[in-house]
Structure 1
Amino acid sequence: MIRYLKNNEIDLKKYDACIQTALNSRIYAFSWYLNCVADNWDVLVLNDYEAVMPLPWRQKYFIKYIYPPAWTQQLGVFSKAEVHETLIAEFVNSIPKKFKKITIQFNSQNNVSFIKTEKRINYVLDLNKPYETLLKSFRKDRKYRLNQIKNKNFIVKNTTIDELILLGKLHYSYLKIEDKSYQNLKSLSELILTKGTGFLLGVYDVNNEFLGGSMFLKDHKRLTYLYSVATEMGKQNHVISLVLSHVLKEFSLSNYVLDFEGSMIKGIASFYKSFGAIPETYLQFNRFRL
């Protein structure tokens, strides 16, 4: 039986255990993560937390709606057993009628062909190989860019979320990221550093000038490239390529998958593919209820 539970009714220990052991686990679905990035969230639960479907939601003009919070890409149904399409259909049909608009980005292992969805593309790279083998899969232009900056004496080291966010506001205002989303990102960064579930890397020149950097999430299966920024000088010197190369070296010969978190934008997708990443499809579901 599938039950709808409001947030204060959730057994968080059982819920997080389900996410932790799920075959299709995603860090975005943990309770601590959703507490940080979602305005509100409830959950649909199968029996005694055999499978769960988190429901992040907002309210506007007395209308409640399910939405994908900033800093989450894939949610949907999670279970330690294989999730069949019939079960996903039961979950979708169990979403309470009070939610008049629904937008769900299902994880890549949720098959939802029974409803109309929009196909979205993500890129992933398996890191269970030596760095030298991973490097062979880089596109020629990516290898060339990395060779170009070898003699620049740039340093890759831990950075702060304040530097990353300040740079984002200065150079990426066209993305129209809300202040609240930046506040959530800052809170999230503090949380992942405390929990050991992520890290922040920056690139600095010989004068310790910050040129750019990235924030990564880390769970037991997946590294997620969540947020990245660079100055104009950093872009010219391809410092984000240096960050990603550094991470690939650090986590090569591991059981991790690097999740690039996108993209549907042609230029960004090309950048991810240049590291040897392969496409992974996930589906977005939209529904309006009268």
Structure 2
Amino acid sequence: MPTRLLRHHEIDLAAWDACVGAARQVVPYACSWWLQATAGRWDAVVEQEESSGRYLSVWPLPVKWRPWGREIHQPPFTQQLGWLTSTNAKQPLGSGGLMNLDSLLAHYSRCYTQLNEANELPPQAPLSVAFQQRHTYQLRLDSPYETLRGAYAADYRRRLRLYEAAGRPLRVTETTNVEPLLQLFQQTKGPEAGLKTRHYILMRKLVAALSLRQLLDIREVREPQTGELLASALFVRYRTKLVYLFAAASLAGKKAGAPLLLLDAVIQQHAGTSELVLDFEGGTIPSIARFFANFGAEPVPYAALSFTQRPWYLKWMR
């Protein structure tokens, strides 16, 4: 099947979403509406069936213009992209049978993109291409809640028993309003995470797209007497993935164990769901990795790909 590099205006969005929705790799970040909210524009390498025009494989390449040329970047709130392939399509990165990385380099001055966990790396790559291994943490939810809770760290199980025995325990509730979560994040993690005003605008656009498709789940834990928000989290339910996309907790909320209660409530609700996986969407920071591992989650590797082209006036150098 022919494979082509398409500019954004050449992409058939209906064929794109059909391919992403049927792909063996479950990657919500690759949906056209997700990319429109977080990246705006993207090019793509596409494997297309000639007879029908349908897309068999896609590789989204979010792009932005820079003085030195076109640059591939990883959009905010987008953990993984990489190759997505339908049932009958080949595995492009592992097989080396599709677009050669050398030919891709010629079109872009710089690149940083995170592949998805199912992508195999090519046995050989150009010297200018670097691969870095990253990790996310995942928990399969197809077991009964009692089994899942039994795999928690002993301290977590003890704390949950204490909360349940309390006279007025904290409660986890659902909401459709993302603004309290965004405000709490701005007051706590925001400066350290480097999020700017534009990032919160992008998140609001993404939340609107998720809500429209009924893929959004926002949870809160509030102080019973004052109503103060202690912790909140935004989850995305897409096919067989439940993504822990965005969360924040106040200092008082951390002391009260609100994040533990919130995640336990979500695990309890979805426990026993066939094939469903909770993706904690992180693990590169050791303290956060330990927090996820304490729920019984396991590390899952994926790769980041990067390269930088020399400017044209230096290419003669060896």
TM-score interval (norm. to shorter): over 0.9
> What percent of counterpart residues are identical?
28
Q: Is the 8 A contact 2:3 2:45 kept in 1?
A: yes
2:223 corresponds, among 201, 205, 208, to: 205
Match runs of 1:14-25 below 5 Å: 14-25=15-26
Other-structure match for 1:161: 178
Tell me, yes or no, if the aligned pair for 2:105 and 2:309 is still in contact at 8 Å: no
Q: Which runs of 5+ in 1 are unaligned?
A: none
- Shift in Å, 1:146: 2.3
- Residue type at the aligned position of 1:235: K
- Of 183-192 and 123-132, the range deviating more from structure 2: 183-192
The answer to which of 138-147 and 251-260 deviates more is 138-147
The amino acid across from 1:184 in the alignment is: L
Counterpart contact for 1:39–1:58, Cα < 8 Å: no
Instruction: Give the CA deviation at 1:96.
Output: 6.1
Is 2:3–2:98's contact at 8 Å kept on the other side of the alignment?
Answer: no
CA–CA distance in structure 2, aligned partners of residues 125 and 31 of structure 1: 27
**Bigger mean CA deviation after superposition, 178-187 or 101-110:** 178-187
The Cα shift of 1:18 comes to 0.7
Determine the C-alpha separation between the residues in 2 that align with 1:33 and 1:144.
39
Q: Distance in 1 between matches of 2:230 and 2:66?
A: 39
Partners of 1:74 and 1:226 in 2: CA distance: 12
Q: Identify the residue that residue 35 of structure 1 maps to in structure 2.
A: 36
Q: How many residue pairs are counted as aligned between the two chains?
A: 290
Partner Cα distance (1:240, 1:119) in 2: 28
Q: Which deviates the most, 152-161 or 129-138?
A: 152-161
Structure 1, residues 164-220: CA drift from partner, whole Å, max 9, x if none? 111111111211112211111111112212211121111112132211110111111
**CA pair 112-27 structure 1, distance change in 2 beyond 3 A:** same
Could you state the TM-score of these two structures normalised by the residue count of structure 1? Answer: 0.95
**Aligned partners of 2:26 and 2:239 also within 8 Å:** no
SS at match of 1:169: helix
* CA displacement 1:238-288 (0-9 Å, x = unmatched): 111111111111111112100011111110000000000011000011101
Q: What is the CA distance between 1:97 and its match in structure 2?
A: 2.4
* Runs of 4 or more above 4 Å deviation: none
Q: Contact 2:219 / 2:234 at 8 angstroms: preserved in 1?
A: yes
- In terms of mean alpha carbon deviation, does 259-268 or 41-50 score higher? 41-50
- 2:230 aligns to what SS in structure 1? strand
Question: Which SS does the other structure have where 1:149 is aligned?
Answer: helix
1:105 corresponds to which of 98, 114, 134: 114
Residue 242 of structure 1 aligns with which residue? 261
